[in-house]
Amino acid sequence: MPDCNLKANLAKCTCSYPTCSRKGKCCECVMYHRAHGELPGCFFPEDVERTYDRSIKRFIEAYS
Ligand code: SF4
């Protein structure tokens, strides 16, 4: 299994939460939010991402 490409992931990361230790570690990011019934920040439009509401409900609302 290849190592995580942290630098490339960070370059593409759209999450605006400044102090998250999972930033750029997409596998950890997905696992964290999945465990909370949520989606990672990069799934959301920019204005919604900034609210830090990562719920599936908010995701559906954003694209309805
Ligand atoms: S989406 Fe969540 S877990 Fe991922 S970097 Fe942002 S705050 Fe961290």
8: in domain: no
Name the token pair of 46.
């920019």
Per-residue pLDDT band for 22 (boundaries 50, 70, 90) equals very high
43: in domain: yes
62: in domain: yes
41: in domain: yes
Per-residue pLDDT band for 2 (boundaries 50, 70, 90) equals low
| Mean per-residue pLDDT, 7-11 | 95
Over residues 30-63, the pLDDT tens digits come to: 999 999 999 999 999 999 999 999 999 999 999 9
* pLDDT the model gives residue 1: 47
24: in domain: no
Range of the domain at 53: 37-64
Does any ligand 1 atom lie closer than 6 A to the CB of residue 59? no
Hey, which of 22, 39, 43, 55 would you mutate to test ligand 1's pocket, going by the most ligand atoms within 8 Å of its Cβ? 22
Domain count, the chain: 1
* pLDDT the model gives residue 4: 83
